[in-house]
Amino acid sequence: MNFLRDSIVKGTVVNDRLVAEGEKVLYKTYNRFPIVFDHAEDVYLYDEGDNQYLDFGAGISVCGLGYSNALVKEAMKAQIDKGLLHTSNLFYNEPAIEAGEKLLEAAEMDKVFFTNSGTEAIEGALKIARRYQYNKKSGKTEIIAMLGSFHGRSMGALSVTGKEHYRAPFEPLVSGVKFADFNDLESVKAQITDKTGAIILETIQGEGGIYPATEEFLKGVRSLCDEHDLIMILDEVQCGMGRSGYMFAWQEYGIKPDVVTVAKALGNGVPIGAFLARGEAATAMVPGDHGSTYGGNPLVCAAASAILDVFKEMDIPAHVREIGAYLWETLDNIKAEFPDAIIDHRGKGLLQGLEFATDIKVGEIVSNAILKQHLVLIAAEHNTIRFVPPLVIERQHVDEMAEKLRMALKEVTSGDR
């Protein structure tokens, strides 16, 4: 017992020291929680004091297979043992070819370019759209994006992000971007001119508050792109890779984009993203148009290749549909228990959100859940809590989450508001 007590005390001291040092050296663009995670297993994180946290954030939708998947670890170790971590894109490497073949098969696309992140994938997708129209000498350089969207924080990705508070400090941004209302086809039609070259949207808006596209809207956008010869770009950085209950969320709707971006769960924690294209969009760019020093290097692609194997062998999308339905039922029950606090429940698969009344501070709920209940949650726009656990969770993890969430909600909502 003394050993346990001493370990906890030691862990707290180390945690506090590292937090203090982190405040000194790390650029302050994140409001971090005062926790230093030290190790992880399955769907749990452990801090310096060996306290266990149930993870329903998955590193912002990244760790789809949870932590310490044996096959992924073995694949990375084998590549490390070869000593070949990087060659540059002046040469081919086998892991990139294997990962590319598997990803293209899953997405039903023709060509892939590997990047280091989702934001970089968006940059490449936008360049495909511009290059496609340049090749046709169409003069179509404008892009329609959606209000409420989030595509990243680099200058191009930020330019098509439909949230003014993200864009304002960095303007002027890339020109020629117009915004339409998500799930409002007439709003999109109103923005189309003879200068429009592409439409970009998330199949499910994540950061924007967990809003899935309607089937009518997505099919309507596809039809508009066909009618006007526009490139349709779907951002599936967060909602792709099985999270919606389909390998890619658009596959539920019976349409296909010209370009799709993916990242996050593709690497399960290693930095990799990709943009994929089909048809004329797949051949729009030529040597010299785009590049990435680290993109598609052997180490990250060895991980991605193994991850894609696990997704296929375990049929992760089917598992997500099953557990996602149970999560939906559970969150619906919690919504019914707190009718004055929770006003909406949205999402698909294991990308779900609870929206709270304006007088409820979601930040307090998330903080209480993390710091007191040891439940990792993350917030989204519109006063929403985002539930994006590892895709391998089981029913008992949903039950454990629900118990902890109820405790956090009762503490935050019990007083006068």
Quick: pLDDT tens for 260-294.
Answer: 999 999 999 999 999 999 999 999 999 999 999 99
How far apart (Å, rounded) are the C-alpha atoms in residues 112 and 110?
Answer: 7
Q: Can you name the residues that pair with 211 across neighbouring β-strands?
A: 205
Helix intervals (H) in 26-148: 58-61, 70-82, 94-107, 118-135
In 309-406, beta strands by DSSP E = 342-348, 351-356, 375-376, 378-380, 384-387
- Residue 414: pLDDT band (50, 70, 90) is confident
Q: What is the tens place of the pLDDT at every residue in 314-359?
A: 999 999 999 999 999 999 999 999 999 999 999 999 999 999 999 9
pTM: 0.95
The model's confidence at residue 152, banded by pLDDT at 50, 70 and 90, is: very high
Q: Residue ranges per domain, the chain?
A: 2-62+316-413, 70-314
Q: How many CB atoms lie within 10 A of CB 263?
A: 28
Distance CA 305, CA 311 (A): 10
CATH no., domain 2-62+316-413: 3.90.1150.10
* Strand 384-387 with 378-380, pairing: antiparallel
Return the CATH number of 70-314, one of 3.30.590.10, 3.40.640.10, 1.10.8.60, 3.50.30.50: 3.40.640.10
